[in-house]
């Protein structure tokens, strides 16, 4: 589904290399976790795939179902089925959460050749999904993320994901800032979306999220590269020993 080959990325403003040859292949139905020390390039990888400005791809390719992602505008990447839940969700004053979600969902449906949802259908669906994530009806009426707590913002990201039903979901430290109960809600939301036709890239610092979202594959990223790949046991190794042993081993 997602295939990244030898991806090299620099900051556009300065000639600073951030990704230094990332190779990654994620097949449909799989959950891949990406772990690694702060500053190793995890968020950059997700940003470059979703099309955030400010980065320059120097080398390599990234395709989703064979489509060259790097050639597409961000909204075209979303229409192709890519979704990113942000590490730091932004507040959008003046744009109602419900309006935002409905506009996004209908744009997605249009791109897939489906009819728009009626207001009633949309409302029914968004309310049901918000309830599963324990998102208050009041939060749906407020501007996107404005005045939301850190945990509410993260749950709102998962609500967007649940509504959009993307094929390739990237979650960037969705667990950070969440208490254990909120993390379980998020994990339940993610697990409900696990499907043979969908894949996940779960970026996380901590093993604890992976107790609830069981990954098929775990990658360790360091200094702009994936330096080690293994099964769920690799996350446990990190939990027990930190990154030092792995980094020394691959150095
Ligand atoms: P991670 O998510 O693994 O913590 P990031 O992808 O956020 O890592 O960052 C990787 C490296 O790139 C860090 O050294 C970070 O400071 C740098 N970096 C990323 N984006 C920018 C930017 N827009 N301006 C300056 N430095 C950046
Ligand atoms: Mg970081
Ligand atoms: Mg990050």
Tell me if 41 CB under 6 Å of ligand 1: yes
Task: Return the closest-CA partner of residue 235 out of 12, 32, 28.
Answer: 32
Mean pLDDT of the chain: 94
**Which of 7-11, 57-61, 112-116 is the least confident region?**
112-116
pLDDT of residue 203: 96
Average pLDDT over residues 143-159: 93
CATH number for region 1-81+169-181+209-236: 3.40.50.300
Q: Ligand 1, residues 44, 202, 219: which to mutate, most atoms within 8 A of Cβ?
A: 44
Spatial neighbors of 177 by CB under 8 A, at least 6 apart, are: 150, 151, 154
SS3 sequence, the chain? CEEEEEEEEEECCCCCEEEEEEEEEECCCCEEEEECCCCCCHHHHHHHHHCCCCEEEEEEEEEECCEEHHHCCHHHHHHCCEEEECCCCCCEEEEEHHHHHHHHHHHHHHHCCCCCCCHHHHHHHHHHHHHHCCCCHHHHHCEECCCCCHHHHHHHHHHHHHHHCCCEEEEECCCCCCCHHHHHHHHHHHHHHCCCCCEEEEECCCHHHHHHCCCCEEEEEECCEEEEEECHHHHHHHHHHCCHHHHHHHC
Atom index in ligand 1 nearest the CA of residue 224 equals: 10
Please, which pLDDT band fits residue 251 given cuts at 50, 70 and 90? confident
Residue nearest to atom 25 of ligand 1 (CA): 11
- In the chain, what are the domain boundaries? 1-81+169-181+209-236, 90-166
Q: Ligand 1, residues 10, 43, 203, 247: which to mutate, most atoms within 8 A of Cβ?
A: 43
Ligand nearest to the CA of 86: 3
pLDDT of residue 148: 92
CA torsion through residues 133, 96, 169, 227, sign: negative
Q: Tell me how far apart the alpha carbons of residues 203 and 169 are, in angstroms, rounded to a whole number.
A: 11
Token reading at 87: 């590490």
pTM for the full predicted model: 0.94
pLDDT single digits (tens) 152-202? 999 999 999 999 999 999 999 998 888 898 899 889 989 999 999 999 999
Ligand nearest to the CA of 40: 1
Atom index in ligand 1 nearest the CA of residue 55 equals: 23
Ligand nearest to the CA of 172: 3
Distance, CA of 25 to chain centre: 15
Is residue 55 a contact partner of residue 18, using CB atoms and an 8 Å limit? yes
pLDDT of residue 245: 86
ipTM of the complex: 0.95
């Amino acid at each position: 589904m997602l295939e990244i080959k030898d991806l090299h990325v620099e900051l556009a403003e300065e000639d600073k290399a951030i990704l230094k040859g990332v190779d990654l292949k994620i097949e449909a139905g799989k959950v891949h976790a990406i772990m690694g020390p702060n500053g190793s390039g995890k968020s950059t990888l997700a940003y470059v795939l979703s099309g955030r400005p400010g980065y320059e791809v120097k080398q390599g390719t990234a395709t989703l179902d064979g489509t060259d992602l790097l050639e597409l505008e961000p909204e075209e990447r979303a229409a192709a089925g890519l979704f990113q839940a942000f590490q730091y969700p932004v507040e959008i004053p003046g744009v109602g959460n419900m309006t935002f979600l409905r506009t996004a969902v209908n744009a997605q449906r249009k791109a897939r050749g489906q009819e728009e949802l009626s207001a009633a259908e949309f409302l029914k669906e968004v309310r049901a999904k918000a309830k599963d994530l324990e998102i208050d009806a009041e939060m749906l009426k407020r501007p996107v993320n404005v005045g939301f707590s850190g945990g509410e913002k993260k749950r709102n990201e998962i609500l967007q994901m649940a509504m959009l039903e993307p094929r390739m979901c990237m979650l960037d430290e969705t667990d950070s800032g969440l208490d254990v109960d909120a993390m379980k809600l998020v994990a339940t939301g993610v697990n409900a979306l696990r499907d043979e036709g969908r894949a996940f890239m779960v970026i996380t610092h901590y093993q604890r999220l992976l107790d609830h979202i069981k990954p098929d594959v775990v990658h360790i990223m360091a200094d702009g590269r994936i330096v080690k790949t293994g099964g769920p046991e690799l996350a446990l190794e990190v939990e027990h020993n930190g990154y030092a042993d792995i980094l020394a081993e691959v150095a």
